[in-house]
A and B are shown apart, each in its own frame.
Chain A
Amino acid sequence: GENVEQHPSTLSVQEGDSAVIKCTYSDSASNYFPWYKQELGKRPQLIIDIRSNVGEKKDQRIAVTLNKTAKHFSLHITETQPEDSAVYFCAASRGEKLTFGTGTRLTIIP
Protein backbone atom coordinates (compact mmCIF):
# COMPACT_ATOMS: atom_id res chain seq x y z
CA GLY A 1 0.00 0.00 0.00
CA GLU A 2 0.86 3.67 -0.02
CA ASN A 3 3.45 5.00 2.42
CA VAL A 4 3.85 8.72 3.06
CA GLU A 5 6.85 10.17 4.89
CA GLN A 6 6.82 13.73 6.20
CA HIS A 7 9.63 15.97 7.38
CA PRO A 8 10.43 17.69 9.61
CA SER A 9 8.37 16.51 12.58
CA THR A 10 8.76 19.90 14.26
CA LEU A 11 9.56 23.29 12.79
CA SER A 12 10.03 26.64 14.47
CA VAL A 13 10.02 29.74 12.30
CA GLN A 14 10.35 33.43 13.10
CA GLU A 15 7.21 35.36 12.32
CA GLY A 16 7.39 36.75 8.80
CA ASP A 17 9.80 34.08 7.56
CA SER A 18 8.88 31.17 5.31
CA ALA A 19 8.19 27.57 6.29
CA VAL A 20 8.61 24.50 4.11
CA ILE A 21 7.31 21.00 4.86
CA LYS A 22 8.21 18.08 2.65
CA CYS A 23 6.54 14.75 1.95
CA THR A 24 7.47 11.72 -0.11
CA TYR A 25 5.15 8.96 -1.24
CA SER A 26 5.73 5.44 -2.47
CA ASP A 27 2.86 4.64 -4.85
CA SER A 28 3.54 6.07 -8.30
CA ALA A 29 -0.18 5.73 -9.09
CA SER A 30 -1.13 8.32 -6.44
CA ASN A 31 -2.62 11.36 -8.11
CA TYR A 32 -4.08 13.55 -5.37
CA PHE A 33 -2.12 15.29 -2.61
CA PRO A 34 -3.99 17.38 -0.02
CA TRP A 35 -2.59 19.27 2.95
CA TYR A 36 -4.50 19.60 6.22
CA LYS A 37 -3.97 21.98 9.12
CA GLN A 38 -5.01 20.84 12.57
CA GLU A 39 -5.13 23.27 15.46
CA LEU A 40 -5.16 21.95 18.99
CA GLY A 41 -8.46 20.26 19.78
CA LYS A 42 -9.87 20.95 16.33
CA ARG A 43 -10.63 18.89 13.25
CA PRO A 44 -8.14 18.68 10.36
CA GLN A 45 -8.95 21.40 7.83
CA LEU A 46 -8.05 21.21 4.17
CA ILE A 47 -5.85 24.18 3.30
CA ILE A 48 -4.66 23.32 -0.20
CA ASP A 49 -4.45 20.35 -2.53
CA ILE A 50 -2.80 19.46 -5.79
CA ARG A 51 -3.53 16.88 -8.42
CA SER A 52 -0.99 15.10 -10.57
CA ASN A 53 -1.75 17.07 -13.71
CA VAL A 54 -0.17 20.23 -12.27
CA GLY A 55 3.23 20.93 -10.75
CA GLU A 56 2.42 23.88 -8.52
CA LYS A 57 -0.59 25.54 -6.96
CA LYS A 58 -0.77 28.72 -4.96
CA ASP A 59 -3.38 30.26 -2.70
CA GLN A 60 -2.31 33.57 -1.16
CA ARG A 61 0.53 32.78 1.28
CA ILE A 62 0.33 29.03 0.76
CA ALA A 63 1.75 27.05 -2.14
CA VAL A 64 2.22 23.38 -2.89
CA THR A 65 4.67 21.90 -5.39
CA LEU A 66 4.63 18.38 -6.79
CA ASN A 67 7.44 16.41 -8.39
CA LYS A 68 5.93 13.20 -9.72
CA THR A 69 9.21 11.85 -11.00
CA ALA A 70 10.81 12.07 -7.58
CA LYS A 71 7.51 11.27 -5.81
CA HIS A 72 7.63 14.19 -3.46
CA PHE A 73 5.54 17.24 -2.74
CA SER A 74 6.03 20.23 -0.49
CA LEU A 75 4.02 22.87 1.35
CA HIS A 76 5.36 26.40 1.36
CA ILE A 77 4.01 29.07 3.72
CA THR A 78 5.34 32.58 3.20
CA GLU A 79 5.15 35.59 5.53
CA THR A 80 4.23 33.35 8.44
CA GLN A 81 1.89 34.64 11.12
CA PRO A 82 1.17 33.41 14.67
CA GLU A 83 -2.11 31.87 13.50
CA ASP A 84 -0.12 29.55 11.23
CA SER A 85 1.01 27.66 14.35
CA ALA A 86 -0.58 24.19 14.12
CA VAL A 87 0.12 20.61 13.07
CA TYR A 88 0.20 20.11 9.32
CA PHE A 89 -0.48 16.77 7.65
CA CYS A 90 0.22 15.82 4.07
CA ALA A 91 -1.65 12.98 2.42
CA ALA A 92 -1.63 11.01 -0.81
CA SER A 93 -4.34 9.13 -2.67
CA ARG A 94 -4.84 7.13 -5.85
CA GLY A 95 -8.58 6.95 -5.38
CA GLU A 96 -10.81 7.67 -2.44
CA LYS A 97 -8.55 6.55 0.41
CA LEU A 98 -6.10 9.03 1.90
CA THR A 99 -2.81 7.93 3.42
CA PHE A 100 -1.47 10.54 5.82
CA GLY A 101 2.03 11.59 6.72
CA THR A 102 3.11 11.68 10.34
CA GLY A 103 2.57 15.40 10.74
CA THR A 104 4.68 18.53 11.30
CA ARG A 105 4.22 20.71 14.35
CA LEU A 106 4.84 24.26 13.15
CA THR A 107 5.50 26.95 15.74
CA ILE A 108 5.67 30.59 14.71
CA ILE A 109 7.90 32.61 17.03
CA PRO A 110 6.65 36.20 17.47
Chain B
Amino acid sequence: SAVISQKPSRDICQRGTSLTIQCQVDSQVTMMFWYRQQPGQSLTLIATANQGSEATYESGFVIDKFPISRPNLTFSTLTVSNMSPEDSSIYLCSVEWASRPSGRAWYQETQYFGPGTRLLVL
Protein backbone atom coordinates (compact mmCIF):
# COMPACT_ATOMS: atom_id res chain seq x y z
CA SER B 1 0.00 0.00 0.00
CA ALA B 2 0.96 3.66 -0.26
CA VAL B 3 2.92 5.45 2.46
CA ILE B 4 1.00 8.57 3.44
CA SER B 5 2.22 11.38 5.66
CA GLN B 6 0.51 14.48 6.98
CA LYS B 7 1.82 17.74 8.40
CA PRO B 8 1.33 19.00 11.00
CA SER B 9 0.43 16.04 13.18
CA ARG B 10 -1.29 18.38 15.62
CA ASP B 11 -1.79 22.07 16.20
CA ILE B 12 -3.48 24.49 18.56
CA CYS B 13 -4.84 27.58 16.82
CA GLN B 14 -6.66 30.76 17.74
CA ARG B 15 -10.14 31.40 16.41
CA GLY B 16 -10.26 33.46 13.26
CA THR B 17 -6.97 32.12 11.93
CA SER B 18 -6.37 29.56 9.16
CA LEU B 19 -4.36 26.34 9.08
CA THR B 20 -3.10 24.50 6.03
CA ILE B 21 -2.68 20.74 6.32
CA GLN B 22 -0.40 18.90 3.93
CA CYS B 23 -0.78 15.34 2.69
CA GLN B 24 2.10 13.59 0.92
CA VAL B 25 2.04 10.17 -0.75
CA ASP B 26 5.10 8.19 -1.77
CA SER B 27 3.54 7.12 -5.10
CA GLN B 28 1.36 8.76 -7.69
CA VAL B 29 -2.36 8.40 -7.03
CA THR B 30 -5.34 9.70 -8.93
CA MET B 31 -7.86 10.08 -6.14
CA MET B 32 -7.21 11.80 -2.83
CA PHE B 33 -9.83 12.52 -0.20
CA TRP B 34 -10.13 14.72 2.86
CA TYR B 35 -12.15 13.61 5.89
CA ARG B 36 -13.06 15.12 9.21
CA GLN B 37 -13.43 13.04 12.36
CA GLN B 38 -14.88 14.89 15.31
CA PRO B 39 -14.04 13.56 18.77
CA GLY B 40 -15.58 10.15 19.31
CA GLN B 41 -17.37 10.26 15.97
CA SER B 42 -17.21 8.61 12.59
CA LEU B 43 -15.46 9.86 9.48
CA THR B 44 -17.17 12.44 7.30
CA LEU B 45 -15.98 13.13 3.77
CA ILE B 46 -15.19 16.80 3.16
CA ALA B 47 -14.13 16.65 -0.47
CA THR B 48 -12.52 14.63 -3.23
CA ALA B 49 -9.37 16.09 -4.77
CA ASN B 50 -8.29 15.08 -8.24
CA GLN B 51 -5.17 16.45 -9.85
CA GLY B 52 -5.88 19.04 -12.50
CA SER B 53 -9.46 19.77 -11.53
CA GLU B 54 -11.42 21.56 -8.84
CA ALA B 55 -12.13 19.61 -5.70
CA THR B 56 -15.63 18.18 -5.33
CA TYR B 57 -17.19 19.10 -1.99
CA GLU B 58 -19.77 17.14 -0.03
CA SER B 59 -22.97 18.64 1.26
CA GLY B 60 -22.26 20.92 4.20
CA PHE B 61 -18.70 21.77 3.16
CA VAL B 62 -17.78 24.77 1.01
CA ILE B 63 -14.66 25.86 -0.79
CA ASP B 64 -14.42 29.19 1.01
CA LYS B 65 -14.14 27.40 4.35
CA PHE B 66 -12.06 24.40 3.21
CA PRO B 67 -10.02 25.34 0.13
CA ILE B 68 -8.11 22.40 -1.30
CA SER B 69 -5.15 22.24 -3.63
CA ARG B 70 -3.95 19.25 -5.64
CA PRO B 71 -0.91 20.44 -7.60
CA ASN B 72 0.37 16.98 -8.54
CA LEU B 73 -0.30 13.26 -8.15
CA THR B 74 1.51 12.90 -4.82
CA PHE B 75 0.47 15.96 -2.82
CA SER B 76 -2.60 17.81 -1.59
CA THR B 77 -3.39 20.51 0.96
CA LEU B 78 -6.53 21.30 2.93
CA THR B 79 -6.92 24.72 4.51
CA VAL B 80 -9.30 25.26 7.39
CA SER B 81 -10.18 28.95 7.15
CA ASN B 82 -11.44 31.44 9.71
CA MET B 83 -11.43 28.75 12.38
CA SER B 84 -13.84 28.48 15.28
CA PRO B 85 -13.85 26.01 18.20
CA GLU B 86 -16.35 23.89 16.23
CA ASP B 87 -13.56 23.14 13.76
CA SER B 88 -11.65 21.26 16.47
CA SER B 89 -11.34 17.83 14.98
CA ILE B 90 -9.03 15.29 13.38
CA TYR B 91 -8.51 15.88 9.68
CA LEU B 92 -7.44 12.89 7.62
CA CYS B 93 -6.40 12.52 4.04
CA SER B 94 -6.80 9.25 2.21
CA VAL B 95 -5.80 7.89 -1.16
CA GLU B 96 -7.31 5.37 -3.48
CA TRP B 97 -4.70 2.71 -4.15
CA ALA B 98 -4.89 0.17 -6.96
CA SER B 99 -3.45 -3.26 -6.30
CA ARG B 100 -3.71 -6.59 -8.02
CA PRO B 101 -4.97 -9.47 -5.88
CA SER B 102 -2.76 -12.50 -5.87
CA GLY B 103 -3.42 -14.70 -8.88
CA ARG B 104 -5.74 -12.18 -10.51
CA ALA B 105 -5.30 -10.22 -13.73
CA TRP B 106 -7.27 -7.17 -12.64
CA TYR B 107 -6.65 -4.32 -10.21
CA GLN B 108 -8.82 -3.38 -7.28
CA GLU B 109 -8.94 -0.02 -5.56
CA THR B 110 -8.83 0.36 -1.82
CA GLN B 111 -8.61 3.44 0.33
CA TYR B 112 -5.79 4.06 2.79
CA PHE B 113 -5.58 6.82 5.35
CA GLY B 114 -2.90 9.20 6.45
CA PRO B 115 -2.08 9.52 10.16
CA GLY B 116 -4.33 12.55 10.62
CA THR B 117 -3.92 16.10 11.91
CA ARG B 118 -5.34 16.77 15.33
CA LEU B 119 -6.59 20.37 15.46
CA LEU B 120 -7.69 22.27 18.54
CA VAL B 121 -9.16 25.74 18.10
CA LEU B 122 -9.30 27.98 21.14
With known contacts A43-B113, A44-B43, A96–B92 Cβ distance under 8 A: no
Contact of B111 among A34, A42, A51, A101 (CB under 8 A): A34
Q: Nearest Cβ distance between residue A93 and chain B, in whole angstroms? A: 8
Say yes or no: A89 contacts B43, CB within 8 Å.
yes
Say yes or no: B115 contacts A96, CB within 8 Å.
no
Say yes or no: A43 contacts B96, CB within 8 Å.
no
Say yes or no: B108 contacts A51, CB within 8 Å.
yes
Q: Could you say which interface size class chain A belongs to?
A: 10 to 19
Query: Is B73 close to A, CB under 8 A?
Result: no
Say yes or no: B31 contacts A96, CB within 8 Å.
yes
Chain B residues with CB below 8 A from A99, complex form? 45
| A-contacting residues, B23-73, CB 8 Å | 31, 33, 41-45, 48, 59
Say yes or no: B115 contacts A89, CB within 8 Å.
no
Q: Nearest Cβ distance between residue A106 and chain B, in whole angstroms? A: 15
Query: Is A97 close to B, CB under 8 A?
Result: yes
Say yes or no: B45 contacts A96, CB within 8 Å.
no
Alpha-carbon separation in the docked complex, A101 to B31 (Å): 22
Chain B residues with CB below 8 A from A1, complex form? 59
With known contacts A34-B110, A34-B111, A46-B111, A97–B48 Cβ distance under 8 A: yes
Q: Which of A36, A100, A102 has the most C-beta atoms of chain B within 10 angstroms of its own C-beta? A: A100
| A-contacting residues, B51-103, CB 8 Å | 59, 92, 96
Write 20 A-B pairs (CB below 8 A) sorted by A numbering: A43-B113, A43-B115, A43-B116, A44-B92, A46-B110, A46-B111, A89-B42, A89-B43, A96-B48, A96-B109, A97-B33, A97-B45, A98-B45, A98-B111, A100-B42, A100-B43, A101-B42, A102-B42, A103-B41, A103-B42
Q: Name which residue of chain B comes closest to A45, CB basis.
A: B113
Chain A residues with CB below 8 A from B92, complex form? 43-44
| B-contacting residues, A41-60, CB 8 Å | 42-46, 49, 51
